[in-house]
Structure 1
Amino acid sequence: MSKDIVQIFDTTLRDGEQVPGCKLDMEQKLVIAERLEELGVNIIEAGFPISSPGDFKSVDSISKLIKKTTVCGLTRAVEKDIKVAAEALQHAKRPRIHTGLGTSESHIKFKFNSNQDAIIERAVKAVSYAKSFVEDVEFFAEDAGRTENEFLARICEAVIKAGATVLNIPDTTGYCLPEEYGSKIKYLKENVTGIDKAVLSCHCHNDLGLATANSIAGAVNGARQIECTINGIGERAGNTSLEEVVMVMRQHPTLNIDTTVNSRLLFDTSRMVSQKMGVVVQPNKAIVGANAFAHSSGIHQDGVIKNRETYEIIDPADVGVNESSIVLTARSGRAALAYRAKIVGYELTKTQLDDVYDEFLKFADTRKEVLDADIHQIVETSKADLQSVG
């Protein structure tokens, strides 16, 4: 049975770049955009054209560069925004305009000093205008996570009639619980007339650490696009992490959903974006963190050495990591020491290992990590009669 494909909408160059200190120059943006296409993402949100001359130029240049992937430009539900985005996208092989406005009671009352009927009218007008420039129009209902479902369904139905091809249902503040967000997507699937004419999309923020869980819940309940960024970079606590949603789907075949992403490029892409944006990837970051496949506990090390799958659900090679890492610390056991000692040239018998291990523990207690060079010192200091195999 074939799996449903969930489109990956990458917004690293738009939402990701909004993080203070993450400004990219044109050359860097083009390099990242080219890599995103190679990675296999389906849509690249290249920028917010009206926001600055630089963003306009970025969208224009990326539109000229990208050959197969859809290139998207963000706008507010404002005619000038939409017209400028259309101009920036004129060279794109597959252009998409992404337009919308806030739909929650809070946004309607405090941002727009308006009412629901007026918001629907404005949304329809924006989508219709965008449709006059491109066939592919995505509508975002900002703060959909806190929008009452009945009104959300009304506005979705209205913009579909106006020509929207994608409905973005953002959890803008990262407020929703997975069950709640999944239920919202399910409600729209079941209650919006014409929903079969549009793709439901998840755009979840990570304020409560639930962005990946919410996006997967959305996909399980019928969404077929996930909006995400490399390394989960983005406003405040970040966006849904591309590498996480891709590997969740791939590691759980019973979900019956997958992506077109080449997962073997994930680690290298993560490092590229980190270096160009100047944002360090936290060591314990899922999938691409430095410690994602590193083991320092003796019990874990022994298990992984005997069979990788005892403590790793992902083959490191599947995400572009060469191998698992056995990190020697004071918590490491004999199996790990013997394993690393063999790598640097020592084949230890059980008796020799006992002697070296005692010396290893004394040394390890004074260090955060024991390196390969340290193993030679430990062996030499040990009183065991060792035969080097190097």
Structure 2
Amino acid sequence: MPSMGCASAIAKIPVSKAGRKNHNRHFGHSEEILTKEEHISAMTIEHEQNTNIDDGEFDQIPQILFEGVSSLKTIGCPGTLIPVTNQTRAVICGADSNNVIAAASLLGRGRCLVFAHSGYPYMFINVDVEDRRFVENCRLWLAKGRNAQFVLIDDTQSLSDVPLDETILVWNGECIKNDTFMQNLHDYLRQGGALVCGATPWGWLQLNSGKILSDLPFFHFCDFIGIKLTENYSNCSNPMPFQLELIQFKNIHHATQKLVADPTDIESLCIVGGACKDLNVDVSGLPIDILKNIAMKAENEVIPSNSCPIQDKCCRQKSNGLCGILCVLTSTKAPGIANFPGDFSHPPVTETHVIFHIESNANEWYCTGYYAVAGIPIQIDVLECMGAMGWSIRIGCHSDHLEVCF
């Protein structure tokens, strides 16, 4: 879907190829190419340099932050986070483990808390009575037991303007910082600093027409510390009860290890598959053949047929997880896809190398008039784009009601 403004795009049928991905070491708009392997290696090095906490102690972080606290108030409509690397931990979830509202991260000797709504950082500046115990718990963990003060940096242009000793920085990540500031923030954390931050990704996108999430520097900062932002709305109650069982998966790294050990593990399958689907990218770090093997060895009870839908709740959960993994296996057909050939009374004529031209001055959806046949992979490339960026493709399923098809 294009943003407002004149735009022209040409799409060719046969989706984006897996491979090198843009990451930004300085968290601004100038980009530096890192392969997935280099990126994971960088994360591992950062974790190894953290000498103030081990994995076992890090696993206790949620309990430490919620000691004497039964719930967290819901501010607005939070988004969701995905703690990816082993240097991160989910802290609290909404309705399930795919609705992470807060996550902790280690960077060098520093510590960081990330929230999925831009309102949460201010909770540490103007502390309500009901939040005092939680804020104090966070203060003690972030500052390693010291009585550090929370300092807001939303309007700060340079970290040299902030007294960094005995300080915990507080930042609404939607307040844009330049490359130099972000590099200094990175150095500050690696040397033992502390940060509370947050953003509302879906809200920022609504307020910034024509932008995509990667245009937000905070997106790259979170990516660097091992946490992914999503465009999703959260599913959570108010207040959110602290439920230890929902955050025991820790992060995608740990969930992936459990999934490899037991491909039938429902929780790990749903978490890894959900993350793949939400980000439309393989976040497991597993070789494609292992992911494919997990998907292709699904039991019959999690594969629907045209005469027997999946009835069991656990099997439906497994099926959803498999669908998430299949989202990133672009050349792999889903098991049982032959039972759902589409709504055609006769096999359709298949066209290839179709070029479709769109010009638009409005923020609208436009129908191409083409159907994607079930079971036949397609590739869509933008050959040329002038004007607004951020076009997206939406494919319906057995109807033209595309607004419910994601």
Question: Counting strand residues as a fraction of each chain, which structure ranks higher?
Answer: 2
Which TM-score applies when normalising by structure 2? 0.30
From the CA coordinates, give the structure whose radius of gyration is larger.
1
Question: Counting helix residues as a fraction of each chain, which structure ranks higher?
Answer: 1
Which TM-score applies when normalising by structure 1? 0.31
